[in-house]
């Protein structure tokens, strides 16, 4: 395909990730994953390693792991790839074609993931931006642990930060994000760490903790600490590294 043809085809796709396709072409993603990748802490050298990317969406992190030398990368998704939201699998398939990538793909729900369903355990498992979409977060983390051979990286938003003991908020009726009913839970860091240890990770480390923000329940984005306590969510983004 010519550069112009790539740009035309790219413009027809709803993108979540910014992906460098070469020749100065970058997909118009809605999330700043390029900067976020610096916080995720993916090992710089993945030569000979196998990687499972759960909730891959457009595949930015899958392709990044391939660039770092991974011997095999399997990208999985279900909600997005099955067009249950505003996006689809088109971005992943198009980027893979243009990048001439060998990243493999499998449409599978997180709760159906097991060593048998994905074929093996993986050296590195990515679980980025998925946990808060789970009605059953502990079960989801059990699934992550079941396919992790060495290390998992978990990124999620938090809630209940004013409480030190492990707790979780459960959202109903778009309580956390206006017009997005797929936000189901917000764990505090103590709960995330505890759950990771319960499901079988021997070492757990809080790798990154983003800036605190205050939002009102049912409202899409604001940052006001003066929101009444009964309507206020204290949240930030955290990234945990966990090892078997």
HSE value, Cβ hemisphere, 13 Å, CA-based, for 117? 15
Task: Specify the pLDDT at position 176.
Answer: 86
HSE value, Cβ hemisphere, 13 Å, CA-based, for 212? 12
How is residue 194 written in tokens? 């505890």
Is the CB of residue 62 less than 8 Å from the CB of residue 56? yes
CA distance 23 to 205: 38
CA distance 240 to 39: 10
DSSP 21-32: EETTEE---SS-
Task: Specify the pLDDT at position 180.
Answer: 82
Q: Which residues of the chain have pLDDT under 70?
A: 221
- Global pTM reads 0.95
- Give the chain's domains with CATH numbers: 32-243 (3.40.50.150)
CA distance 66 to 147: 19
Task: Specify the pLDDT at position 105.
Answer: 98
Is the CB of residue 238 less than 8 Å from the CB of residue 148? no
CA distance 34 to 103: 19
């Amino acid at each position: 395909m010519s550069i112009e043809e790539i740009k035309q085809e790219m413009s027809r796709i709803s993108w979540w990730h910014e992906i460098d396709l070469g020749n100065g072409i970058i997909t118009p993603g809605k999330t700043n994953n390029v900067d976020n990748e610096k916080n995720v802490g993916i090992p710089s050298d993945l030569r000979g390693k196998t990687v499972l990317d759960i909730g891959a969406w457009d595949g930015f992190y899958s392709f990044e792991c391939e660039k770092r030398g991974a011997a095999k990368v399997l990208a999985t998704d279900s909600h997005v790839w099955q067009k249950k939201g505003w996006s689809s699998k088109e971005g992943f398939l198009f980027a893979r074609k243009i990048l001439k990538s060998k990243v493999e793909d499998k449409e599978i729900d997180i709760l159906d993931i097991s060593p048998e369903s994905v074929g093996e355990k993986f050296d590195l498992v990515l679980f980025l931006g998925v946990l808060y979409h789970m009605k059953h977060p502990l079960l989801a983390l059990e699934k992550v642990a079941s396919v992790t051979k060495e290390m998992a990286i978990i990124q999620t938003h938090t809630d209940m930060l004013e409480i030190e003991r492990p707790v979780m908020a459960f959202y109903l009726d778009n309580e956390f994000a206006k017009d997005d009913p797929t936000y189901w839970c917000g764990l505090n860091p103590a709960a995330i760490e505890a759950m990771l240890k319960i499901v079988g990770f021997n070492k757990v480390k809080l790798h990154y903790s983003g800036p605190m923000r205050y939002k009102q329940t049912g409202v899409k984005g604001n940052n006001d600490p003066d929101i009444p306590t009964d309507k206020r969510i204290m949240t930030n983004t955290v990234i945990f590294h966990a090892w078997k």
